[in-house]
Chain A
Amino acid sequence: MSSTRPAPDPFDGAVDAVVEHSPALMWRSGPDAKHDYVNGTWLRFTGRRLEEEIGDGWIEGIHPDDRAKRLAVEQLHAADGTPFEARYRLRRHDGEYRPVLDRGAPYREDGEVRGFIGFCIDLGERGEADQAARDGFFRAIAHELRTPLQALRMLVEVVRRSAEAGKDPDPLMGNRIDAQFDRLGEMIDQIAETGGRQDPEIRTEPLDLALLLRRLTEGKNELLHVRAARTRHVLRYRGPEHATTVGDRRRLKLAFGSLIDNAVKFSPRGGVVELRLKIDPAEICVQVRDQGIGIPAAEIPHVSRRFFRGSNAPPENFPGPGLGLATARDIVERHGGSLEIQSEVDHGTCVTARLPAEAGRR
């Protein structure tokens, strides 16, 4: 360093302690990315001694596949003196490579970049949980898409065979096939709504919410129609015949459709699923109530998180990527409303969407 005498330390060594014990893995590099300092947190993380980490030693801890990339980033930013960010895998003391986020900012002496000061944080469990959620999502979506495809193949076969037998087609067959296409369309909307974010804007238009809900109920009933099985769902709508409001038609349909699907899915023994619409001067209230397995009380605050799944609803038994409630909440909130969940294990769940009434009076 160029200064001759160290300035008196107004913090009496506290700064050193802060740096040494910072929760981040801190480091400083000189020219050519050689480290001349790493803090105690870094050493505890890698389980190595300072002598082993300084100079080029620290590079050994980077996953071999990530080394070149990490060094290139620093070199590139040293040339123009700008801060950088890098993600790579760093070996922990137990030998496991952990995903880290590394940020470096240039420091200068006499106006020249001398190196970087930076810190790493272990993305660890967060990164892994995100990855696991993504993996689970794609697996579930793939599986989910196969179900309507299977149904369509079987329905088409029914049509083909009745034609071959010279029988008149079942007049309801068109509706049943349409219902499967609607279901595929909804899944695609849900994927777009979750992953793509290509179309984030809410497009409001005047709409008859009562009619939308009644049609949705009829469509879903079509899907639930099984003559032979013992387990039955009764889906019904209660509310006014018509209710004019404004909103994003496609998205509201997706939101309430997701809530109905959940209600049916999580009442495997059948039962009544009731969709209620109530119009108050202050708000529009849509309620979806089932007689299903319910949600454990402690988990209710987490249910509208993406990919969430109740401890009483393992994915082997209950298909789906865990997006329904998250999608519904997102859409309702973007309409200025809120979603409320009441539930009791083995008795059922009631999801209430409240939308501002002023939206309806515009």
Chain B
Amino acid sequence: MKRILVADDDPAILDALSTLLAPSYEVVAARNGEDLLRELARQRFDLVLLDLRMPLMVGENALAAIQTGGWVIPIIVMSGNRARIEEAMRRGADESLAKPFAFPELEEKIARLIAAPPKPPPAA
């Protein structure tokens, strides 16, 4: 089963997303940027679902840390702020979702990214 790391500071969203994804994926939840990086270091993931607004480390910085850390992994960013979404896409996020989105939209994006061939490692 493919493994997804979900990072969102809102417990209810995190919990519901975990429940919804659980039948198809193995889900690990993180409530802040520090937890996210700790989990990434601990085990391999097939996809990261990242809320841009998080305590301790904002999503944009987590995105940069994932890239500079050498993890080659598809990233979907989520936010209620469209300007931040656009910026994150410019910085190399693979997909985005504007909150409040419907779950099937997310499902479709995850399926597409996970089925896609792995992306080439970032240029050193």
Segment at the interface with A among B48-56, B64-72, B114-122: B48-56
Measured CA separation A265–B9 after assembly (Å): 9
In the complex, chain A residues whose CB is within 8 Å of the CB of B101: 150, 153
Residues of B within 8 A of A79 (CB): none
- Looking at A34-42, A313-321, A352-360, the stretch in contact with chain B turns out to be A313-321
- Interface pair B12/A151, CB less than 8 Å apart: yes
Structural contact, B18 and A146, CB atoms closer than 8 A: no
A319 surroundings in chain B (CB, below 8 A): 9, 53
**B87-124 near A? 1/0 per residue, CB < 8 Å:** 00000000000011111000000000000000000000
Contact A154 B16, CB 8 Å, known A229-B30, A269-B56: yes
Contact of A318 among B17, B34, B55, B102 (CB under 8 A): B55
Question: Does A68 belong to the interface (CB within 8 Å)?
Answer: no
Residues of B close to A142: CB separation below 8 A:
80
User: Which of the four size classes fits the interface of chain A?
Assistant: 35 or more
Is there an interface contact between A151 and B29, defined as CB atoms closer than 8 Å? no
Is the beta-carbon distance between A230 and B100 smaller than 8 angstroms? no
Q: Is the CB of B35 within 8 A of A228?
A: no
Bound CA–CA A152/B99 (angstroms): 12
Q: Is the CB of B103 within 8 A of A229?
A: no
Task: Report the tally of A-B residue pairs with Cβ distances under 8 A.
Answer: 106
Question: Known contacts A158-B19, A225-B11, A228-B18: does B35 contact A149 (CB below 8 Å)?
Answer: no
Contact of B80 among A147, A158, A228, A265 (CB under 8 A): A147
Q: When the two chains form their complex, are residues A316 and B58 in contact, meaning their CB atoms are under 8 A apart?
A: yes
- A147-B99, A153-B101, A157-B16 as given contacts; A228 in contact with B27, CB under 8 Å: yes
**Measured CA separation A323–B34 after assembly (Å):** 27
Q: Which residue of B lies closest to A142 (CB)?
A: B80
Chain A, range 116-154, C-beta contacts under 8 Å to B: 142-143, 146-154
| A105 within 8 Å of B (CB atoms) | no
* A180 interface residue per 8 A CB criterion: yes
Given known contacts A155-B16, A223-B12, A231 and B31 CB-to-CB distance under 8 angstroms: yes
Which of A157, A226, A265 sits near B103, CB closer than 8 Å?
A157
Does chain B have a CB within 8 A of A91? no
Residue of A nearest to B81 (CB): A143
CB distance from B48 to the nearest CB of A (A): 15
Q: In the complex, are the beta carbons of B20 and A158 less than 8 A apart?
A: yes
Which residues of chain B are near A180, meaning CB under 8 Å?
A: 12
Binding site for A on B (CB under 8 A): 9-20, 27-32, 34-35, 38-39, 52-58, 60, 80-81, 99-103
Which A residues have a C-beta under 8 Å from some C-beta of B?
A: 142-143, 146-155, 157-158, 161, 176, 179-180, 223-231, 265, 268-270, 316-319
25 contacting pairs across A/B (C-beta < 8 A): A142-B80, A147-B10, A147-B13, A150-B10, A150-B100, A151-B10, A151-B13, A152-B100, A154-B12, A154-B16, A157-B16, A157-B20, A157-B102, A158-B16, A158-B19, A161-B20, A225-B15, A228-B14, A229-B11, A229-B35, A230-B30, A230-B31, A230-B38, A231-B31, A317-B53
- 7 closest A-B pairs by CB: A268-B55, A154-B16, A228-B29, A146-B80, A151-B12, A231-B31, A150-B100
Known: A147-B13, A151-B12, A230-B30. 8 other contacts (CB 8 A): A150-B80, A153-B100, A153-B101, A155-B12, A176-B15, A179-B12, A226-B11, A317-B53
